[in-house]
Structure 1
Amino acid sequence: MTSLQPWWWAALPLLLLPLWWHRQKRQRTASELLATARFLPSTVPQQRRIWRWTDIFLLLVRLALLLALIAWLAVTVLPWRGDTVLADPALEPAWVAREVQVARMQDAARMPLPAGVLDWLRRHEHEWRDGTRILVLARAGDVPMPAHPPRLAHAVTLRLAPSVPAAAQRHHVVVASTPERLPRWQALFAAFGTVTGPYTVAAVPTSQTGLIVWDRPESPPAAWCAPHWWRADGKGDRHVTAAGIALTYTDTPQGRVWRGMPWPPASATEAAALQQAWQAVAAAPAPYALPAQALAPARPLSLPARDGEPAPWWGWLLLALFMLERLLAHARRS
């Protein structure tokens, strides 16, 4: 059993309230003076407080209700998972079966590989029982290396399948130019396609457009948007140099506008330099991939999680205990 917010257990002294309540003296009958009592000497009435346990079953229900409420507030989780295999659904079934057999986890439960598997395991490790094993099967390069070594409470084995070359990615580009200069832009992106994948050159942007080349004297339509723009007019407010080409850029509501590249390149050398510069400044950096390895348990217990949620059955248990307490209290009064 693990409590993700254990400081709520400090409210356990509240269990003394039902005990105090049930041990109080209750008046069972009303006292009346007898007519002959006037002939007797007057004395001060004396009462003896007798502590008796009454309504034991109702007392136990109230104690259970308070205890369940504290456990619900403490986000108490009962670990129920055993040995588990987290496998990417896109992996080859034969390779997955071979790795599961090598790890001797044929009887382990199967789950699809979640995104950010290491962070997901850290947030859900309280769901596994002590001593269980977790086998992670992913494709090489899909699990990024974290900034710090992962410290988990369970043994995790990471196995990576050989990466399969992905199909060439198609880039969507819009070229707004004059009829005389349009063939030169088309030839430029055809040359780029031999290195970074094919380019689709269109005249109107869509949701897939990643670059707009504006080679016209007038201003572009305000409705046109893309992550990147190439323009020859004006100057940028930020400078960057890549592949020997000094580029400037400005962030606008329509996208990032780049200026300073050859317009358009007049030779193969300029085209190659522009392609290298563009890839250097526009491509997102790829994270380091985590190699296959076995992670031994680094902590004896799961860490408390601030964003933890109690199990759904806790709510139904509280409702059932509350209804039972109300029924018993009503039966006692009647």
Structure 2
Amino acid sequence: MTSLQPWWWAALPVLLLPLWWHRQKRQRTAAELLATARFLPSSAPQQRRIWRWTGILLLLARLALLLALIAWLAVTVFPWRGDAVLVAPGLAADWVEREVAAAGMAEATRLQPAGAPLDWLRDNEHEWRADARILVLAPASDMPMPARPPRFGHAVTVRLAPAAPMPRAVHRVVVAAPPERLARWQALFAAFGAAGERYELAAVPDDRTALVVWDQAGQPPAAWRGAHWWRGGPVAGQRVPAAGLQLGYADTAQGRVWTGMPWPPAGAAQAAALHGAWQALAATPVPYPLPAAALAPARSVPVPGGARAAWWPWLLAGLFLLERLLTHARRS
């Protein structure tokens, strides 16, 4: 352990004090001898303690108050866990069994962490004994690369499940162009689809529209919305470097409007530059996963104890108030 807090459990014998106090024979009224008592044979006075319900409840309240106070001071949980395997939900059973067998931890306890495995382990590491080994099995999506290498007070081995094949992305595209240029736009998005993505062309945008191509004179309808817009006209807004193209974009109420577009691109080079500039700002960044590693125990890392529950002071206050009320009821 990293502190002397667990030694507060050695104060448990203090619970004997209320028992001793309640068993004491206390004289409530002063005894006075009667004048005629001299004619009676002398005998030693005998007293018998009669328990009342208020006395029993008061004893229990005092015992509970002392026990809660000692537990609040002790706070720390003694480590009891041995070797363990932390298995994130959703992993293939055959892959989990292979990794557990390869690590030689077939007899280890298996746990399912709540949330990110390494964050959960850091919050609950105080539950493991110093010589315990920990194997973490998780998908790459749950293990992003941190700014600093993770450090634990125990030997931790991290293994990542192979990533499942990503489904082909489907982009809903609305093309508003004259008939003589519509076929060229359709051929352009068909070429984009050959790169591994799918493009679904529509006539009217909806809430799933990723791109609106406005290749017409005039302004688009005010009700149209789209995540991105390709429009003609001079370059405006934030400049974007693209091979052989002068592009710019600006965020509006209808979506992010791109200007400086070739209508349509004249060749493969312009099409690739246009697609790359668009995807650079439209695609969701994917965090780099933490690589599989065997982390040696860092002795300089303190293993924190258990945290006090937020409701614990209210429990102590309630028990103290109950003890005062029962004490007053017993005296009355």
Q: TM-score, normalization: structure 2?
A: 0.68
Q: Which residue is 1:201 aligned to?
A: 201
Q: Which residue of structure 2 lines up, in the alignment, with residue 218 of structure 1?
A: 218
Question: How many angstroms does 1:327 deviate by?
Answer: 7.3
Taking the aligned partners of 2:65 and 2:329, their CA distance within structure 1 comes to 18
Q: How far apart are residue 290 of structure 1 and its match?
A: 1.6
User: For 1:199, what is the secondary structure of its paired residue?
Assistant: strand
Q: Map 1:273-288; keep pairs closer than 5 Å.
A: 273-288=273-288
- Measure, in 1, the Cα distance between the counterparts of 2:162 and 2:92: 10
Match of 1:332 in 2: 330
Structure-2 change in CA distance of 1:210 and 1:156 (3 Å): farther
1:110 aligned residue: 110
Give the corresponding residue for 2:160. Answer: 160
Q: Report what 1:181 is aligned to.
A: 181
Question: Which residue is equivalent to 1:144?
Answer: 144
Shift of 1:78: 6.3
* Conserved 8 A contact 1:238-1:248: yes
Alpha-carbon distance in structure 2 between the residues aligned to 1:247 and 1:145: 33
1:184-239 CA distance string (max 9 Å, x none): 22211111111141111222333333222222333334443333222224642211
1:58 to 1:161, Cα distance in 2 relative to 1, 3 A: same
Shift of residue 171 of structure 1? Answer: 2.1
Query: 2:227 and 2:133 mapped to 1: Cα distance?
Result: 44
Q: How far apart, in 2, do the equivalents of 1:316 and 1:103 lie? A: 46
Gaps of 5+ in 1: 10-14, 31-54
- Say if 1:62 and 1:234 are closer, same or farther in 2 by CA, change over 3 A: farther
1:106-148 Cα shifts (integer Å, max 9, x gaps):
3444344655433343344345555443321134565221111
Q: Closer, same or farther in 2 for the Cα pair 1:94/1:269, shift >3 Å?
A: same
Indicate how the Cα distance of structure 1 residues 277 and 131 shifts in structure 2: closer, same or farther if over 3 A, else same. Answer: same
CA 229–331 in structure 1, closer or farther in 2 if over 3 Å, else same: same
Q: CA RMSD in A?
A: 4.5
List runs of 5+ in structure 2 lacking aligned partners: 9-13, 31-54
Q: Distance in 2 between matches of 1:206 and 1:77?
A: 55
| Residue of structure 2 equivalent to 1:85 | 85
Q: Distance in 1 between matches of 2:223 and 2:117?
A: 39
Shift of 1:250: 0.8
Tell me how far apart the structure 1 counterparts of residues 255 and 110 of structure 2 sit (CA, whole Å).
44
SS in 2 for 1:156: strand
Quick one: distance in 1 between partners of 2:309 and 2:110? Answer: 23
The answer to whether the Cα contact below 8 Å between 1:144 and 1:287 also exists between their aligned partners in 2 is yes
What displacement does 1:80 show? 6.6
Point out the more displaced range, 157-166 or 91-100. Answer: 157-166
Partners of 1:74 and 1:96 in 2: CA distance: 38
Equivalent runs, 1:314-333 vs 2, <5 Å: 321=319, 325=323, 328-329=326-327, 332-333=330-331
Equivalents in 2 of 1:236, 1:135: separation in Å?
54
Aligned residues of 1:77 and 1:310 also touching (Cα < 8 A): no
Q: CA deviation at 1:292?
A: 0.9
Match of 2:261, SS state, is coil
Tell me the equivalent position of 1:51: none
CA distance in structure 1 between the partners assigned to 2:304 and 2:129 by the alignment = 14
CA contact (8 A) 2:235 2:246 kept: no
* Alpha-carbon distance, 1:69 to partner: 5.5
Partners of 2:202 and 2:304 in 1: how far apart?
53
Q: Equivalent residue for 1:310? A: 309
Measure the CA separation in 2 of the matches of 1:212 and 1:74.
63
Question: Alpha carbons of 1:76 and 1:251: their partners in 2 closer, same or farther (altered >3 Å)?
Answer: farther
- Say whether the 8 Å CA contact 1:83–1:132 is kept in structure 2: yes
